[in-house]
Structure 1
Amino acid sequence: MFAFFNKLYKPGKFKKNGDVKDVLVVALPMLLSMSFDTFMTFIDRLFLSKLGPAEMNAALGAGAVQLALITFFTGAISYTTAMVAQRLGAKKHRDCAKVFMQAIYLSFICVPLLYLSIPLGHIIFGMENLPADQLQYQKTYFNILMFGGIINLVRNAAPCFFSGIGETKIVMQAAFVGMIINVVCNFFLIYGAGPIPAMGIAGAAYGTLIGNFVSTVILFAKFFSKSYHKRFNTRHSFAFSKPLTVELLKKGIPSGVEMFLNMAAFQLLILMFHALGPESATASSIMFNWDMVAYVPLIGLEVASTSLVGRYVGAKEGAAATRSTYSGLRIGWAYSALIGMLFIFLPGVLADIFRPDANAGASAISIFENARPMSLFMLRFAALYIFVEILLVIYAGALRGAGDTLWVMFASALMNWFVAGALYVTAYVFHLPAHYAWIAVVAVYSTAPLFFLYRWKSGKWRKHLLDAKA
């Protein structure tokens, strides 16, 4: 697989055309690296599902809250990709490494703030009216991930330099190694083997941190390697830069607020589904686990869109920025066609992967069997928005790359909170069954990406291109 990318990708060459091949060079490794990250999380929950629905549901609930609390910081820092890309396009190569180091400094500064938010997570869990066993599992998983927050913050910042310069193969390789380490650690830490005790859900959290740490070390080793130092002066990029930090905060904070509000809305969705009962909680957990498998790799396309549009804006090539966006759409729709067919024709196979083992107990098996029909319906119906969300992913990434982060923040936050509102009205005001609530969620979500399409078509993002020319 890596040999294929060696042929496809040649470092340092930049053609201003934005065709499918140019997008694939950046997007395909990022799509695969996000797939590896998704597979890590999926395996965590799959292993835990064999212990029982409580452990699987706890990992989903705790993971969502942890992401909601950390995404403000990771979202703000993620604008590093666009800043690096813009400077690469403007041929300011040494500034690329300097921008990245400012992002690392900000990651360390954010750690105390992250620790202060841990009690807030516990308050949220107390509002969910969870069974006692799930609540305890959820707190354990959450606490471990939060106290290992520095690993997660730096792990999210580390790929930004490479995605910004469009050399994403190393990100893919690091994610692949991290995935393998994570899966191996999870198996031994969750179930135990020999002298290693069975740690259950705590083992899943530790395995995640270990995998993320290894992939981060690989990226830093590459960043400081001789070849990258020669091109970007990486070993002499440690100086603090106030102008770069201010720009990163000014443009990145809207992205951080956006991601925080989006994840908070997603956590509210999970909370409301879980509050409808154990069957609804299990069905929605199965659905959201597979939705994650379908959606998260597309973030690789979003990162590629941000990187390419940012680079073309920096190079003052507006036409190429537009072409790269349309190329990303074609790639995304091809991917979504495959995922949609799986959701429509194989939902039973997808759901049964999470069936508890026989020794999980009669209660756990009964909950799964009662939840299974609802999970099949949710999976089939989710196929409707798979194609539409490509518009959201590509155009949101493109608008961020062009510097239009404030509009993306407001539009994305409003979309996700309208989705949460649709669930609340359907399930808690009209008291309709959970599958009707899921219909409302999908219906609202499917229409929202059209606003991102309209924003791009309006051409208002081009004012940032004019700023680049100035």
Structure 2
Amino acid sequence: MFQDREYFNSLRKIAVPIIIQQFVWSALNLLDVVMIGQLGDASVAGVGLANQVFFLLTFLLFGTSSGAAVFTAQYWGKGDVTSIRKVLGLSLGVSFVGSLLFTVVAVAIPNTVLSIYSRDPEVIAIGGRYLRIVAISYIPTAVTFAYGSVLRSIGNTRLPMITTVIALVIKTAISYVLIFGHFGAPVMGVEGAAIGTAVARVLQIFILIIPIYTQKLPIAAKLKEMGGFSPEFVKAYIKVGLPVMVQEVLWSLGMSTYNLVYAHIGTQSIAAVNIAGTIENLAFVIFIGISDACAVIIGNQIGANNEANAKRYARYSLTLVTLGGFLVGVLIWLSSGLILELYEISPEAHDFAIKVLTVMAFTLWVKVSNMTIIVGILRSGGDTRYALILEMLTIWLVGVPLALLGAFVFHLPVYWVVLMVAAEELCKYIIGLQRFATGRWVNNLVQHAA
């Protein structure tokens, strides 16, 4: 495996910018949580729950863009730029409609939405103020998602990386000034964090789109080039893309249900989960890069009719993330106490966070393996329907029932509930690995013109 220069050169070229982008995103998000953590448990919990709305939107957008990415990667392997621009048009249209709906709900009834997750009036009030401000960035985020996903699928991961890093630095700088009132600015607390986030996301769309069109990149499509789909093209797109969109929305609803359960256990519990989850996201950056690169590489190979290479590269990628997941999980466990010293939280929340982080550390390998199987392999091969069924059955028939049992029947502490939920990942891994071994996930979707 390690002697295959073609694979590792492609992996490095695509994965490294994604890893850098994800690392900066996670690191600055961690810094955001640390800054908000200075305001107390209720602020951490309120912002964390408000971000559940963006979390749901993100996975709607991720599902839309991932469906587009399946086609884009294979069309790029085939050399069909015209069809790639049509895929971009469809992705933009669906993303805009979804983000518009989320914006209206978040601006109109933020407290009502957050009351689903928490019964704490202080947490709801804080989260509601944050949510109403940050919601204005949802539509620009949708446009950025669509363009960025298509760019990565044609192997251009550098531009999305640069634009994301710039936007995140802007977000962190504004948040730092406004949360604490530095340089003569008013002390705004969580509203300052919301303004920083909203401004950065709005600016990011211009930072990304301007270079695409000024440099005349392959996806610099005119409006008329984003339309004109044949019925066969639309049918094929829906057949592959709809399961991905449904999967991401239902998956995010499942994750949101977990957070609802954790929040109902107590404010300290959801604060601990939010903190531990932020650290886990930082650990995920390498594996997101490998998984996304795997999807592009495999899609390109399938589009070029190199099925044997696609299967071999899939095997290489899965091996890398599984071994890496074990190593990074151990590092998290060893450093968890030191990391949590950064937070000004109650002793109870600190104790919960240590134990939740321990569970997350020792289940990291199976989570990143599942991400690679589903996102990097099954989807890139067009096996989106199987991926949908696998994800939904394990979350809703294993994970969610166990979470509800642990919290509301057995009244267990949050860290035991998190451990019970991890059974979902193990079931998913066993079934997904069997599907991978059959090779039936390989499907060439771009044999016919759009």
Taking structure 1 as the reference length, the TM-score comes to 0.86
Distance 2:5 2:223 in 1: 33
Are 2:86 and 2:229, in contact at CA under 8 Å, matched by a contact in 1?
no
Aligned to 2:276: 287
Are 2:284 and 2:368, in contact at CA under 8 Å, matched by a contact in 1?
no
Letter in 2 for 1:407: Y
Aligned to 2:386: 407
Matches within 5 A, 1:290-329: 290-295=279-284, 298-329=287-318
Does residue 242 (structure 1) correspond to residue 229 (structure 2)? The answer is yes
Does residue 221 (structure 1) correspond to residue 201 (structure 2)? The answer is no
Distance 1:251 1:81 in 2: 11
Letter in 2 for 1:153: A
Does residue 88 (structure 1) correspond to residue 76 (structure 2)? The answer is yes
Aligned to 2:434: 454
Equivalent of residue 347 in structure 2, options 335, 357, 369? 369
Equivalent of residue 55 in structure 2, options 62, 67, 77? 67
Are 2:324 and 2:365, in contact at CA under 8 Å, matched by a contact in 1?
no
Equivalent of residue 424 in structure 1, options 386, 399, 404? 404
Matches within 5 A, 1:359-398: 368-397=346-375, 398=377
Aligned to 1:166: 155
Unaligned 5+ segments in structure 1 are: 1-15, 357-367
Are 1:23 and 1:324, in contact at CA under 8 Å, matched by a contact in 2?
no
The CA RMSD measured in Å over matched residues stands at 2.6
Are 2:22 and 2:285, in contact at CA under 8 Å, matched by a contact in 1?
yes
Aligned to 1:113: 101
Distance 1:466 1:151 in 2: 30
Distance 2:342 2:270 in 1: 16
Aligned to 1:139: 128
Aligned to 1:438: 418
Are 2:299 and 2:380, in contact at CA under 8 Å, matched by a contact in 1?
yes
Distance 1:17 1:345 in 2: 34
Letter in 1 for 2:406: T
Distance 2:156 2:116 in 1: 44
Are 2:303 and 2:446, in contact at CA under 8 Å, matched by a contact in 1?
no
Aligned to 1:6: none
Does residue 351 (structure 1) correspond to residue 340 (structure 2)? The answer is yes
- Deviation at residue 41 of structure 1 after TM alignment: 2.5
Greater CA drift, 416-425 or 325-334: 325-334
Greater CA drift, 84-93 or 67-76: 67-76
CA pair 122-300 structure 1, distance change in 2 beyond 3 A: farther
Matches within 5 A, 1:18-33: 19-33=7-21
Aligned to 2:189: 200
Secondary structure of the corresponding residue to residue 268 of structure 1: helix
Are 1:81 and 1:164, in contact at CA under 8 Å, matched by a contact in 2?
yes
Equivalent of residue 35 in structure 2, options 42, 47, 68? 47
Letter in 1 for 2:311: T
CA pair 126-136 structure 1, distance change in 2 beyond 3 A: same
CA pair 28-109 structure 1, distance change in 2 beyond 3 A: same
Distance 2:6 2:400 in 1: 36
Distance 1:216 1:338 in 2: 36
Distance 1:33 1:245 in 2: 32
Does residue 261 (structure 1) correspond to residue 250 (structure 2)? The answer is yes
Greater CA drift, 187-196 or 451-460: 187-196
Aligned-residue sequence identity (percent) comes to 21
CA pair 90-39 structure 1, distance change in 2 beyond 3 A: same
Deviations along 1:282-316, whole A, 9 cap, x unmatched? 32222222222223553333322222222111111
Are 1:65 and 1:121, in contact at CA under 8 Å, matched by a contact in 2?
no
Secondary structure of the corresponding residue to residue 448 of structure 1: helix
CA pair 102-160 structure 1, distance change in 2 beyond 3 A: same
Letter in 2 for 1:346: S
Deviations along 1:152-188, whole A, 9 cap, x unmatched? 2112212112211112122222222122111111111
Distance 1:279 1:466 in 2: 48
Equivalent of residue 145 in structure 2, options 156, 161, 164? 156
Are 1:39 and 1:179, in contact at CA under 8 Å, matched by a contact in 2?
no
Distance 1:136 1:208 in 2: 19
Taking structure 2 as the reference length, the TM-score comes to 0.89
